[in-house]
Every structure is written in structure tokens, then in C-alpha cells.
A and B are shown apart, each in its own frame.
Chain A
Amino acid sequence: MHELSVKDLCLRMPNGQSLVEGLSFTVEPGQVVALMGPSGSGKSSILNWLTGMVDSHLHASGEVWLGPRQLTSLPTEKRRLGLMLQQDYLFPHMSVGDNLRFGLRGGSRRERTERVRQVLQDASLAGLEQRDPATLSGGQRARVSLLRTLLADPCALLLDEPFSALDTTLREQIRRLTWDSAARLPVLLVTHDMADVPLQARVLRIGESSPADSLGMHPQPI
């Protein structure tokens, strides 16, 4: 696994107003960096830029690297950055198994089916392969969504408030599953809730003061 590096990222609004100015940071494999800041400070725009899908009206400059590989000019599908959003976006026209197979790369039909069955069993979701995603509970949906992202074998994980739609009990459960599953990946987490940030995470506050000053460890354990 390689580290995910952002170098000198600038995001500007169409009127020239700066949203993010000269932001640089590195996320090591197994490390979680939490991007925090007030609404409209550009947290989600940074994630969009990392995936190569920044809003066309924003002017963006900077570089993104995954180890020795520069991703900046690569299309989204070639970057191998896993993404989880606030909503789980399980495709409603596919069964749970099909959703997972959609994420899976390569392998024969039998291998793929076996892998999906194994993964579901490991996540305590055995027997749900043929189920319509609409019939799953919120926690089950969140787990399937996470599994789908991880089955695509990403080199880094980007999380955009993935726990905010879950209730308190489920949140802790899904958080733990996420950190355990992504233990060897660089993880960039966007959240406004300090409770979502794991203890060992680095917190990067944007939109408040100079980003370089705000890099540091989790301010207080929760």
C-alpha cells in the first residue's frame, strides 16, 4: 500500500473567491485523516477533486499522488480511490449479491460468487445475497455498501460523512467495521461530528485558520 498525498491544492469559486488555498497533506497507509470544518468550507469539494469529479464551475489546481503514481490527470475510474457517501447508494435494480459482484474485480463466475458469499458471511450478512437492497435494514445497507467499496480493491478510502445517516447504535458498529476493514489503507474522512473521528486519527481543520497550523492529532478522545 502507498500513501495518498495532496500537494498545493487550490479551489476557487467562479467569482475568484478562494475556497481552499495551498492545501497539502499526506495520508499514510493505515492512517485516518479527518477533514473538518464548517459547512461550505470545501470539505466535500476536496473529496470530489480527489475522485476527479469536482464541480465544473470550480477552478481547481494542485496534485494528487498515490505513492509514486500521479492521479491528477487520470479519469475517476482509473484512480482506484474507494468512495463512501452519506447515502449508501445500493443500486435498486440489483440484488445484494449483484451489488457486491458489481464492485468485485476479475475472477471466474464461480470464484466471484464464492467470494461474495464468503464476504457476506464474514460480515454476518449470510443468506442475504438474493435480497432486494430495499428490504435491508439501515445497518445492513451500510455494511453492504462498505463491502462493495472494499471489494473493488481500492488503494485509498475516501469517506464523506458515511455515518451521519445512521442511528447512534448502528453508528458505532459501522464505524468499527469500517476502521477494521480499512486498517491497511490510507483513509480520508470528511465529517462534522467529532465522534466519527477515531482516536488515532489526524485532524485537518479547513476554513478556520491556515491548514498547516491545524494539522495535528485528535484533540481529545471521545
Chain B
Amino acid sequence: MSLPARTVTAMKPIIMLRHRGLVWLLVSLFMLPVLLGLCGTVAPALGFTPTFAPGDGFAQILTDPRLLPALGLSTFTGLLATFLVLAITVMALVCVHDTRWWSWMNAAIPPVLAIPHAAMAVGLVFLLAPSGALVRLVSPALTGWERPPLDWIVPDAQGWSLIVGLVIKETPFLLLAAIAQLPALDVDASLRIGRTLGYAPARCWSRLILPRLYPRIRLTLLIILAFNLTVVDMAILLGPGNPPTLSVLLMTLVNDPLSRAAASAGALLLVAVVGLSFLLLFALEIFVSGIARRRRQSGVRGHGFSALRVLGKGVVMLILSTSLVTMLLLLVWSFTRRWRFPDAFPAQWTLSNWSTRTDVLMQPALTTLIIAMCVAALAISTAIAWLELERRGAAPRLDGIWFVPLLVPQISLLFGWQAVALWAGLDGTWWMVVYTHWLYTFPYVILILAVPWRELAPEWGHAAHTLGAGDWRVLWRVRLPMLIRPLSQAAAVAVAVSVALYLPTLLIGAGRHQTLATELVTSVGGVDRRVVAALAVLQSILPLLAFVLALMVPRWQSRRLARQSTRSLTRTAVA
């Protein structure tokens, strides 16, 4: 039975009001930690909370002799790593596109992205350290070393190990963002036209494709830059200890109640560093695009440098395969009983690293899994709610706002958010940890879902409505099943992001929630290498499983339909 037209018209304002309420609720839920977090950092830094953070924060941090070296190190590692990430991404596109390596590269990116930062960093230490797998493979045959060499250490004092780690971890992220944009740029046709006009492929890329691609990946690059400048977990594992990077220095300060104001002031300095780095990037952009514009008009055709192409392919493949090798190495270490230097392979294998250390492994794994699943469910449902409101015209497009937490240094936002949680007596609560994880997961989820959701033809919904389905039924039976692939991918990404989050769990969880990320970072210094490897493997397995499930779910859906269809055909044939 349908409602009379007048009743429906009268209900519309009520529905719109309810929609508007939901829009405000979602925006407030998202912006609350951001704004309160920043306020919570600014107030102690400026001396507004003397009981919580005594002293003049800026005076303390600016007179700290560790500040300048830490600042220099953060800037050097962050800027250089970001520049290398961009250069290698461009190299990958120019040198690998249209070759048989292209599909391999595309297949290798998702598993590499799924590896959490901390696990990757631990794997790199196991690979590059003087007693690591690389040295073992060539010793003593090529080096003559019977003991680990003392010439270098990982992490090194200059920050090179951290740069290598950041480049290996972040290049696939930028590469994925760039590859996703290529179809919109009609790359093949541009290359074809450019080449028939006499330009070498590399020139076609630099003059025709990259100028259009760069604005589309700028936001991702800014996110990477902010991350590289302010990362904590990878900097603890791969960065130098004395002086450490600025973010690690701030972490040591925040744990001392007398230095909280200094930590907050330092966190604001970090925001300034990130802001200045953004400005530097924009200035470089203007400079490079000016040169590029002049070059474009010169008509110089250029040559195809096959040696450079080989080099480019080599670098890209090295980066992607290193990530996979580190995983393999962690797996080997987690089953090792005895592996003496300089043996290339373990002498004895065992399961006991897993079976006898369940206390160290299982509890954090379970906590991580529960938090990740809750966060994924929350992020997916809120993203669907937002996109559905947007589709109905009740919510504006706020794509720029969702990325704010990824552009503001985690440490600068979380110091304040932690202070607010402490003040409200909510620190260490499970739901605050989930809420904070959601803040960092939601942007990725909405980024993945927005395009397919907006592109899904409204006619599908119209058709279902004319068949008598209400809004909820259309959502559950039409839209969600039709978007099962991006939904599964988004859920997997949400799990991967949550599993990898270190700082939000540590600061907001107040040390009461041991996840694999927090355990791994704290274990590296003191716990047995084999148990650390097992922790890192566990941390990597969870997102990998999520990605495998994300691949399987749409297949199950189509297989179920195929089975039903076959059964129906058989029944018809029998009849």
C-alpha cells in the first residue's frame, strides 16, 4: 500500500532534516579529533595548561641542543625520500610502461602495499644489517668475513637506512595512484601521436603525459611528503638514535610530564616544517613547469636511451622485489632455530618460535584483528552513508577535507587528541582507539569507494524503485552487491591501514592495547630476533589475508550466481 502523495510531500522536509543531521554528525565526528587535537597541541605549547604541561614549551624546545640535528635529519630524510619516490615512480612509468614487465609490476604492487611499515622496516634491518642476509649470502666466499663487519650499522647515523625504507615502502603507493590515473589521460593515444610527430618515448612522457599526470597525483605526493617527514615507527626502527628524527625526539619528550609543553611546541614546529616543505614543493613545481613549458616549445625530439630504460626497469624491479624478499626473510627467521654467521641459510629449523611464544604473539594478534575489523566495518559504513547522502543531494562533496588527517603530522594531531582524551578521562578506552583508527582509515576508504559509487548509473536504482523497492532495499539488494569489488578492496585497505597504525594505538591506547604494531616496535631492541620476525610475519599476514579475501568475495558472488544459473538450466532441461 503506498502513501498518498500529500503525505509523501509532507515527509520530504523531515527526511531532508534527518539527512542534514546525519551530514553534520559525520562531519563533526571526523573534524572533532582534528580540531580538538590541534587545539590540544597548541594550548600546552603556548602555556595555557600549566598543570598538565608546565613551563614555556617553545623556550624549552628551542634551547634543546638536540632540536637542530633532529630537525635537520627529519628534513633531509623526508625530503630526499619523497624526491626519490617521485623520481622512481616517473622512471617506472616511463621505462616499464608498454613492456612485458608492466603486468608483473601491477601484480606486485598490492602485496607490497599490504606489508605494514614496521614489518617492512624489521625485514630491511634483517636484510641490510652487517649480520643480515645480504652479507651472509656473499660471505665468506666473496668478502672473507667470518664475523659481521663493523664498518657500518643499520640503522646508520646519517639516516640512509630510513631513506631506503621510506622509498621502498612509499614508491608502490605513489605508483599505484599514478597508474590509477593513466586511463583518464589516454596515454596510448598521446604516445602514439607524440611519437609519430617524431618525439622519443621518454620525451612524449615528459612533455605530454607527466604535465597532466602530476596535478592528479599531487595530493598523494603531499601525503607521502608529510608522512616521510614525520614518521615515527619506521624512524625508531631504521633511523639513527642520536640524534633521532624530530618526531622520535618528540616521542621521548611527551613521555616526560615535565617536557610535555616542549613536546607540544615541537609538534607545532613539525607542522611548520611540513607546511614549509609543501611550499618548497609548490615552488619547485612552478620552477620545473616553467622549464618544461619552454622545452616543450623548442621542438627538440630527443633520443631513445635504451640504457636508461634498462636502468629504470632495474631500479623499479629492485624496489618491488626487495619488499617481497624482506617478507620471505622474516618468514625464514620466524622458523629458524639456529642460524650462525656467516651461514647463508639456517642450520636448524623449528616451530617453537610460534608454538612456545603464544603469549607474545596471540594476544596482540587478536587485539589487532578485532580493532581492524571494527575499524573496517565502521569506515565502510560511514563512507557508504556519506556517499549515499551525497548521491541524494543532501551532502556536498568534501574530498579535500577527508585528507586533512593525512596531511597534518600524526604526532602533532595525536599529542593534542591524547591530551583531550586524558582530560575527558577517555584515554586508553578501546572505543577511543577504534575512533582514532577510523580517522586515519576513513580517507582511504572513501577515496576507493567515491569514484565507483558516483559512477554507478542512477538508472539501476530507478529500475529497482519502479519494481517497488524502497531506499534500503535498493541499497542492500542493488547498489552494494553491484559494488562488491570496490567494497571488498576498501575493507581490505581499511584492515591494512589499521593493522599498520602505531602512533594512534600507542598514544590514545595509553599502552593498554598491545597490537602487533606496538609490540613489534617495542620488541625490536630487546626481544629475540626470531620472535620479532614472527611478530612481523603475523602483522603482514593479516592485511595479506584481507586482500586475498577482497579478491575472493566478488568471485564467490559470481560463482554463486553461476551455480544457481546452472541448477536452474538443468531443472528446465529435466522438465
Binding site for B on A (CB under 8 A): 51-53, 56, 75-83, 85, 87, 89, 91-94, 98, 101-107, 109, 112, 148-149, 152, 154, 158
Whether A83 and B212, one on each chain, are in contact in the complex, defined by CB atoms closer than 8 angstroms, is no
* B297 is an interface residue with CB less than 8 A from chain A: yes
- Knowing A93-B211, A93-B212 touch, does A77 contact B301 (C-beta < 8 A)? yes
What residue of chain A has the Cβ atom nearest to residue B210's Cβ? A93
Q: Say whether B197 faces chain A, with CB atoms less than 8 Å apart.
A: yes
A148 to B299, CA, bound (A): 12
3 nearest CB pairs, A to B: A76-B195, A83-B196, A152-B197
Is the Cβ of B193 less than 8 Å from the Cβ of A89?
yes
Q: Are the CB atoms of B301 and A83 closer together than 8 Å?
A: no
Interface centre among A83, A102, A105 (most CB of B within 10 A): A102
Chain B residues closer than 8 Å to A152, beta-carbon distance:
196-198
Using known A-B contacts A89-B190, A94-B296, A112-B299, determine if residue A81 contacts B196 with beta carbons closer than 8 Å. yes
Chain B residue nearest to A94 (CB atoms) is B296
Contacts A92-B212, A98-B297, A105-B299: A85 and B198 contacting too (C-beta < 8 A)? no
Give Cα A106 to B293, complex, Å.
Answer: 16
Q: With A and B bound together, what is the CA distance between A112 and B304 in angstroms?
A: 24
Contact B212 A102 (CB under 8 A): no
Contact between A112 and B297, CB atoms less than 8 A apart: yes
B310 → chain A, closest Cβ, in Å? 16
Contact A75 to B299, CB < 8 A, known contacts A87-B189, A93-B211:
no
Q: Which residues of B contact A107 (CB under 8 A)?
A: 299
Q: How many whole Å from B94's CB to the nearest CB in chain A?
A: 15
Asked whether B208 is an interface residue with its Cβ less than 8 Å from the other chain, the reply is yes
A199 to chain B, nearest CB (A): 27
- Judged by a CB distance under 8 angstroms, whether B207 is at the interface is yes
Closest chain A residue to B193, Cβ basis: A89
The CA-CA distance from A91 to B196 in the complex, in Å, is 14
Chain A residue at smallest Cβ distance from B301: A77
Q: For the complex, what is the distance from the CA of A25 to the CA of B417, rounded to whole Å?
A: 75
In the assembled complex, B200 has its CB within 8 A of some CB on chain A: yes
Distance in angstroms from B227 CB to nearest chain A CB is 28
Docked CA distance A8–B352 (Å):
68
Given A77-B200, A87-B189, A101 and B195 touching (CB < 8 A)? no
- Closest residue of chain B to A109 (Cβ to Cβ) is B297
Could you tell me which residues of chain B, from 277 to 324, have a CB within 8 Å of some CB in chain A?
293, 296-299, 301, 304
B391 in the interface (beta carbon within 8 A): no
B297 touches A77 (CB 8 A): no
Smallest Cβ distance from A37 to chain B, in angstroms? Answer: 21
Contact flag A105-B301 (CB < 8 Å), given A83-B193, A87-B189, A91-B190: yes
Contact present for A105 and B198 (CB under 8 Å): yes
Residues of A within 8 A of B98 (CB): 56
**Does B392 touch A at the CB level, under 8 Å?**
no
B199 at the interface (CB under 8 A from A): yes
User: Judging by beta carbons under 8 Å apart, are A77 and B304 in contact?
Assistant: yes
Interface flag for B192 (CB, 8 Å): yes
Decide if A77 touches B198 in the complex (CB within 8 Å): yes
> Nearest-CB distance from B209 to chain A (Å)?
10
Find B196's partner among A56, A82, A93 (CB 8 Å cutoff).
Answer: A82
Residue of A nearest to B203 (CB): A77
Identify the interface centre among B98, B193, B200: most chain A CB within 10 Å of its CB.
B193
Instruction: Known A-B contacts: A53-B191, A85-B193. Give 15 more (CB < 8 A).
Output: A51-B196, A52-B195, A53-B195, A76-B195, A77-B197, A77-B199, A78-B198, A79-B196, A83-B192, A83-B193, A98-B293, A101-B296, A107-B299, A109-B298, A152-B196
Q: Which of A83, A89, A104 contacts B299 (CB 8 A)?
A: A104
Q: A93-B212, A107-B299 are in contact. Are A149 and B197 (CB under 8 A)?
A: yes
Output the least CB separation between A101 and chain B (Å). Answer: 5
Contact with A98, one of B199, B200, B296 (Cβ below 8 angstroms)? B296
Q: Are B197 and A102 in contact, with the CB atoms below 8 A?
A: yes
Give, as a whole number of angstroms, the nearest-CB distance from A98 to chain B: 6
Bitwise, B179-215 to A at CB < 8 A (1) or not (0) is 0000000100111110111111100000110011000
In angstroms, Cα B304 to Cα A52, docked, is 14
Instruction: Tell me the bound Cα distance from A75 to B199 in angstroms.
Output: 10
Beta-carbon nearest neighbor of B197 in chain A: A152
Establish whether residues A91 and B195, one from each chain, have CB atoms under 8 Å apart when the complex forms.
Answer: no
The answer to whether residues A75 and B304 also contact, given A83-B196, A87-B189 and a CB cut-off of 8 A, is: yes
B105 → chain A, closest Cβ, in Å? 16
Q: Which residue of B lies closest to A116 (CB)?
A: B297
Q: Which residue of A lies closest to B303 (CB)?
A: A77
User: Which residue among A56, A81, A89 has the maximum number of chain B CB atoms within 10 Å of its CB?
Assistant: A89
- Complex Cα–Cα for A33 and B179 (A): 39
Asked if A53 and B211 make an inter-chain contact with CB atoms under 8 angstroms apart, the answer reads no
Q: How far is the CA of A101 from the CA of B199 in the complex (A)?
A: 13
Q: Which residues does chain A contribute within 8 Å of B211, judged by CB atoms?
A: 93
Listed by A's residue number, 26 A-B pairs whose Cβ atoms lie within 8 Å are A51-B192, A52-B195, A53-B192, A56-B100, A76-B195, A77-B199, A77-B201, A79-B196, A82-B196, A83-B193, A83-B196, A89-B189, A89-B190, A93-B211, A93-B212, A98-B293, A98-B297, A102-B207, A105-B198, A105-B301, A106-B299, A109-B297, A148-B197, A149-B197, A154-B196, A158-B196
> A77 to B201, alpha carbons, bound, how many Å?
8
Per the bound structure, the CA–CA distance linking A85 and B186 in Å amounts to: 13
Q: Which residues of A contact B293 (CB under 8 A)?
A: 98
Min CB distance, A90 to chain B, in Å? 9
Query: What CA separation (Å) do A75 and B201 show in the bound complex?
Result: 10
- B195/A102 in contact, CB under 8 A: no
Chain A residues closer than 8 Å to B186, beta-carbon distance = 89
Q: How far is the CA of A80 from the CA of B298 in the complex (A)?
A: 18
Q: Hey, which chain B residues are within 8 Å of A81, CB to CB? A: 196
B198 / chain A contacts, CB cutoff of 8 Å:
77-78, 80, 105, 152
By beta carbon, the residue of chain A nearest B188 is A53
